[in-house]
Amino acid sequence: MKITKIIRVVDTREYTEEGDRWVPVPGSGIENECARCGRLHEVHATVELADGAKAVVGTGCMRGESLDLQSGIKRLTSASKRQARLMSQMKRVSVLVDEKRRIEHEVTALRLPASREERTHCTEKSGYEYEKFEIVFSDGVRFCSLRELTKASYEEAARFWYQQKERELGMTYAHDFAPYELKTLDEKLCALEEKFPELKGEPR
């Protein structure tokens, strides 16, 4: 069985985060029987043979082929693992993005409660004196300012109240950053697949 071209290379495994690394989950991929060794592989390549037929082989089962093919499969195997890691990372971050949208939708539907103003004269141990101005909502949320309250203060207080409700429903800084992280991961994936078209089954 002589291989003449690499059509596609894929790492079908899921990856999970362990500390500061992303590692493959054993048994999480789709096994394909290797046309060369007969074993099942989760990381495999679709190749074209000398007679024009196509076959699926394990990426480690191409020894004995030309140096160009061996070099190519080594690069593509490494790239396929990066692709699988990025896709697993995107899957995790997508969950955070969906949760963020759900929480924002729930909070947007809430009605801002009634509020009152409080003014407090404060004295530090050092003797420094100042006035503290607060907008206190009927549900207990307090917005503090060291300046006289204005219309802009009430607008800022409203934003603060909605942010507090988001936190109460589980919004975290990871959720805040998730849309930007997802965009960055997608850009990395697109760049990788553009560099190695075989990752999408588009041979050169």
103: phi then psi, degrees, rounded to nearest 5: -65, -45
* 60 within 8 A of 70, measured Cβ to Cβ: no
User: Residue 144 and residue 165: Cα distance in Å, rounded?
Assistant: 17
Tell me the pLDDT of the chain (204 aa) as tens digits: 788 899 999 999 999 999 989 999 999 999 999 998 999 999 999 999 989 999 999 988 887 788 888 899 999 999 999 999 999 999 999 999 999 999 999 999 999 999 999 999 989 889 998 889 999 999 999 999 988 999 999 999 999 999 999 999 999 999 999 999 999 999 999 999 999 999 987 766
9: phi then psi, degrees, rounded to nearest 5: -130, 135
Query: According to the model, what pLDDT value does residue 204 have?
Result: 63
Pick from 151, 154, 152: which is nearest to 143 by CA? 154
Q: Kindly list the domain boundaries of the chain, sorted by start residue.
A: 3-99+175-200, 108-174
Q: What pTM value is reported for the model?
A: 0.81
Q: Is 142 exposed, middle or buried (0-12, 13-18, 19+ CB in 10 A)?
A: middle
User: Residue 92 and residue 111: Cα distance in Å, rounded?
Assistant: 32
Query: According to the model, what pLDDT value does residue 203 have?
Result: 65
Query: According to the model, what pLDDT value does residue 147 have?
Result: 87
Beta bridge mates, 135: 117, 143
User: Residue 107 and residue 95: Cα distance in Å, rounded?
Assistant: 18
User: Which residues 6+ apart lie within 8 Å of 192 measured at CB?
Assistant: 79, 82, 83, 86, 199
User: What tokens were used for 18?
Assistant: 């362990």
Query: According to the model, what pLDDT value does residue 70 have?
Result: 87
